[in-house]
């Protein structure tokens, strides 16, 4: 891990906390997404593997955390064993990992809920009341560090949305499409085998970047993007150029937003440059095949095509969600990474909820 990666910065802060407080055996951070009310594991620092990875839960389903947010206060539990009968998966995993006391605090950035900080110790009663002021101060420092590292990516997304609006960009890249593709992408990334190497931190940045996949379409004329009939050969070549234009645009914007040398900058480039590559090598712009296509591009390709199929376009009606999945299955191993498609199938119920949350009226059923 590079020294400037956010995970390494949190690990360095963990060392400082250990030096000041001692016996803080684990730091866990979950980020909050207000659009979906989801808390998602993001970063951890511990001697061993985190007991919670690729884990999500709705804040509405965790009353204790809701109360901490409402009161903007921290909480300590001296003996986690008293929660042994809890049905919470989070609590069960923490106990099974050997942690016995905890400190929990909401994190804020510019007055908005950013997420939650969890500190765990293998000793009971470790987080004494007299430590709270010190730990609360560290919580603010961690919130500031996370906000600082995520702000450029979020600002970039906002700038792209504003550019589309000012340019009266009215193709399929609506706010709904951007949100759905981002959430479908995260759903696949979370469900993929951990052996793919995606960390919770990687998944969060992929979620932030996925909606920028077609930024280059801003530079494509509306008469091509919105054409109801088949594109001519020349028009199709212009439409395809959105990938190259998007790469150029994002390089300029990344320099402006201070992202050019960030740890995840290449992931953003991969999302834009590779989501039209095909598993069999027949895609564009480079004709990459199989695992030579970066994983970020392979995941976004599945999410993007599924959303394009299941929503109306100037040239077609919306397909049902079932028909969209049938298309993915039929083209696994040719157009799409078969592992990404199989993973998407396992997420079908999740995708239904995403579609309902970020969509216009539900498309016709498969029998319609």
Residue 226 lies in a domain: yes
Catalytic residue numbers, as ranges? 217
Q: Is residue 153 part of a domain?
A: no
pLDDT band at 160 (very low <50, low <70, confident <90, very high): low
| Among 114, 148, 182, residue at a domain's last position | 148
pLDDT higher for 100 or 313?
100
Whether residues 111 and 219 share a domain: the answer is no
- Whether 279 and 144 share a structural domain: no
Picking from 207, 346, 231, 335, the residue whose alpha carbon sits closest to that of residue 275 is 335
- Domain shared by 107 and 246, yes or no: no
Return the pLDDT at 298: 98
- Residues 136 and 276 both lie in one domain: no
Give this prediction's pTM.
0.76
Same domain, 20 and 133: yes
Quick check: 92 pLDDT over 70? yes
How far apart, in whole angstroms, are the C-alpha atoms of residue 312 and residue 122? 54
Mean of pLDDT values over 190-202: 89
CA distance 310 to 83: 44
65 shares a domain with 193: no
* pLDDT given for residue 162 in this prediction: 64
Same domain? 61 vs 134: yes
Which residues, 6+ apart, have CB-to-CB distance to 190 below 8 Å?
Answer: 40, 54, 56, 203
Domain that holds residue 79: 6-148
φ, ψ of residue 275 in degrees (nearest 5):
-75, -5
- Buried/exposed code over 295-323 (b: 16+ C-beta within 10 A; e: otherwise): bbbbbbbbbbbbbbbbbeeeeeebbbbeb
Count of structural domains within the chain:
2
Is 186 found in the same domain as 95? no
**CA atoms of 22 and 15, how far apart (whole Å):** 9
Does residue 160 lie in a domain region? no
For residue 134 the two structure tokens come to 């010190």
Based on the fold, state whether residues 73 and 193 are members of the same structural domain: no
Question: What CATH number does residue 234 fall under?
Answer: 1.10.3210.10
**Token pair belonging to 294:** 């970066």
* Domain presence at residue 279: yes
Position with higher pLDDT, 193 vs 181: 181
Q: What's residue 185's pLDDT? A: 98
Query: Looking at the structure, do residues 245 and 107 belong to the same domain, yes or no?
Result: no
Q: What is the pLDDT of residues 208-247, one digit of tens each?
A: 899 889 888 888 888 888 887 888 999 999 999 999 998 9
**CATH code for the domain in which residue 29 is found:** 3.30.450.40
| Helix extents (H) in the chain | 6-20, 63-71, 89-96, 132-166, 175-191, 200-210, 222-225, 233-240, 242-256, 265-274, 295-309, 321-330, 338-346, 348-357
pLDDT at 154 over 90: no
Residue 365 lies in a domain: no
**187 shares its domain with 320:** yes
* Pair 347, 187: CB distance under 8 Å: yes
Burial class for 183, CB neighbours closer than 10 Å (0-12, 13-18, 19+): buried
What number is the average pLDDT over the span 264-271?
90
For tokens 């049902």, the residue is 320
109 found inside a domain? yes
């Amino acid at each position: 891990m590079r020294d400037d990666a956010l995970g390494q910065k949190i690990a360095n802060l963990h060392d400082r906390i250990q030096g000041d407080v001692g016996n803080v055996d684990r730091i866990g951070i979950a980020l909050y997404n207000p659009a979906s009310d989801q808390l998602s594991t993001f970063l951890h620092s511990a001697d061993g593997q985190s007991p919670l990875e690729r884990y999500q839960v709705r804040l509405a389903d965790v009353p204790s955390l809701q109360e901490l947010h409402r009161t903007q206060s921290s909480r300590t539990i001296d003996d986690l064993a008293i929660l042994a009968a809890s049905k919470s998966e989070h609590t069960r995993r923490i106990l099974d990992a050997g942690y016995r006391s905890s400190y929990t605090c909401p994190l804020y950035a510019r007055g908005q809920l950013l997420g939650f900080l969890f500190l765990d110790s293998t000793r009971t009663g470790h987080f004494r009341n007299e430590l709270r002021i010190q730990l609360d101060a560290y919580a603010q420092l961690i919130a500031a560090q996370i906000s600082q590292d995520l702000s450029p990516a979020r600002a970039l997304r906002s700038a792209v949305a504003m550019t589309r609006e000012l340019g009266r960009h009215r193709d399929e890249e609506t706010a709904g499409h951007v949100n759905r593709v981002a959430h479908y992408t995260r759903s696949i990334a979370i469900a993929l085998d951990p052996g793919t190497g995606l960390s919770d931190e990687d998944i969060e940045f992929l979620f932030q970047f996925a909606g920028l996949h077609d930024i280059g379409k801003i530079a494509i004329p509306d008469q091509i993007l919105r054409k109801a009939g088949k594109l001519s050969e020349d028009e199709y070549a212009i439409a395809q150029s959105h990938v190259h234009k998007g790469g150029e645009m994002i390089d300029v914007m990344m320099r402006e937003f201070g992202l050019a040398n960030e740890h995840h900058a290449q992931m953003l480039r991969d999302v834009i440059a590779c989501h039209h590559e095909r598993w069999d090598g027949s895609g564009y712009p480079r004709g990459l095949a199989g695992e030579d296509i970066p994983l970020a591009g392979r995941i976004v390709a599945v999410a993007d095509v599924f959303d394009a199929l299941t929503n109306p376009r100037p040239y077609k009606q919306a397909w049902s969600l079932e028909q969209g999945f049938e298309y993915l299955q039929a083209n696994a191993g040719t157009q799409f990474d078969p592992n990404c498609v199989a993973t998407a199938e396992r997420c079908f119920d999740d995708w239904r909820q995403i579609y309902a949350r970020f969509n216009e009226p539900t498309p016709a059923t498969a029998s319609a």
